Amino acid sequence: MVKSQNAVLRQAYPTPPYWTVSFDVPHPPAPGMFMLADLGGPLREALFPAAVMADGFSVMVPPRHPATQLLPGATVNMLGPLGQGFRLGDVTRLLLVAEVALLPPLLPLLDAAAAVTLVVETSTRAQLPPPDRFPPTTELLLVTRDGSGGYLGPLESQAPAPANLQRVLPHLLELLAWAERACFACANERYPALAAIVRAARLHPAPDFAQALVQTVMPCGVGACEICRIPTRFGEKHACTEGPVFDLLSL
Ligand code: FES
């Protein structure tokens, strides 16, 4: 039975490159799950929590997202929590890997283990998030695709690096060997290559050792419209009900 809840907008403010929007709601979504919010458009918008509180949650969305146009106190009808979120269990060493634009749904996991390493990839240095945005206990590894800051990306590349730069891939392999769980938020088409990197780092990764949040449109959220079907190694799956967090090695 899908819950219909009325959320109340607590506040919305810019946190470049995103906007942070907070809602009070009786049953907030767990990390990796989502709410389908009626924000006045033709379709409901999927909202993934960037922070989860006992009585609400925050999202981080691009500027001009319809949620940023709401005023404090506005009531928003939401369906959810929906989908399968991250399955962490009792881990002490957690690795998070994200493209910067897709990072917010991983943020609630920053305090989910005693030791957390976060790998963030951007195109260029100007897009790197300020390190003080993250808890001081988070080990941060920054990656740029043009080599202007941090390690040189992309994450999957084995190409030789220019003399003054270091490829990120060897460090990613070390981190995958160190971690007890790894969670990814990248473009879907990168997941097969990232799965191959996980297999290269670990001989027999356990089911759900590496988990990936897939990116797709999810208009109904309940497996009815068929729009969110994604290909996996085990046939097509509904992202809305069987995901959107999948075992990376199944993608
Ligand atoms: S969103 Fe409609 S089937 Fe998944």
Structure confidence by residue, pLDDT tens digits, 70-94: 999 999 999 999 999 999 999 999 9
**Measuring from atom 3 of ligand 1, which residue has the nearest CA?**
223
CATH classification of the domain holding 28: 2.40.30.20
Note the pLDDT of residue 133. Answer: 83
* pLDDT, tens digit (0-9, with 9 covering 90-100), for 241-250: 999 999 999 9
Do 40 and 142 reside in the same domain of the chain? no
DSSP letters, 66-91, are GGGGPPTT-EEEEEEEESB-----S-
Model-level pTM? 0.95
Do 103 and 212 reside in the same domain of the chain? yes
* pLDDT, tens digit (0-9, with 9 covering 90-100), for 187-201: 999 999 999 999 999
Percentage of residues of the chain with pLDDT beyond 70: 99
- Residue 206 Cβ contacting ligand 1 at under 6 Å: no
Asked whether residue 86 is assigned to any structural domain, the reply reads no
Q: Cβ(249)–Cβ(210) under 8 Å?
A: yes
Note the pLDDT of residue 16. Answer: 85
How far is 68 from 239, CA to CA, in rounded Å? 26
* pLDDT exceeds 80 at position 36: yes
Do 145 and 42 reside in the same domain of the chain? no
* pLDDT exceeds 80 at position 110: yes
How far is 205 from 199, CA to CA, in rounded Å? 7
* pLDDT exceeds 90 at position 142: yes
Ligand 1 atom nearest to 224, measured from its CA: 3
Using 50, 70 and 90 to split pLDDT, how confident is the model at 181?
A: very high
* 166-192 burial: b if 16+ Cβ within 10 Å, else e: ebbbeebeebbeebbbbbbbbeeebbe
Calculate how far, in angstroms, residue 225's C-alpha sits from the geometric centre of ligand 1.
5
Note the pLDDT of residue 17. Answer: 84
Provide mean pLDDT across the span 124-143. Answer: 89
DSSP state of 198: H
Q: Which range of residues forms the domain containing residue 120?
A: 93-216+225-233+241-250
Do 103 and 70 reside in the same domain of the chain? no
Asked whether residue 87 is assigned to any structural domain, the reply reads no
Note the pLDDT of residue 128. Answer: 83
Give the residue, 129 or 67, on which the prediction is more confident. 67
Do 155 and 131 reside in the same domain of the chain? yes
Ligand 1 atom nearest to 217, measured from its CA: 1
Note the pLDDT of residue 152. Answer: 96
Using 50, 70 and 90 to split pLDDT, how confident is the model at 131?
A: confident
**Number of domains present in the structure of the chain:** 2
How far is 58 from 61, CA to CA, in rounded Å? 10
Do 101 and 77 reside in the same domain of the chain? no
- The residue from 27, 51, 81 where one domain ends is 81
Note the pLDDT of residue 1. Answer: 67
- Residue 224 Cβ contacting ligand 1 at under 6 Å: yes
- Residue 212 Cβ contacting ligand 1 at under 6 Å: no
- The residue from 81, 114, 142 where one domain ends is 81
How far is 53 from 87, CA to CA, in rounded Å? 18
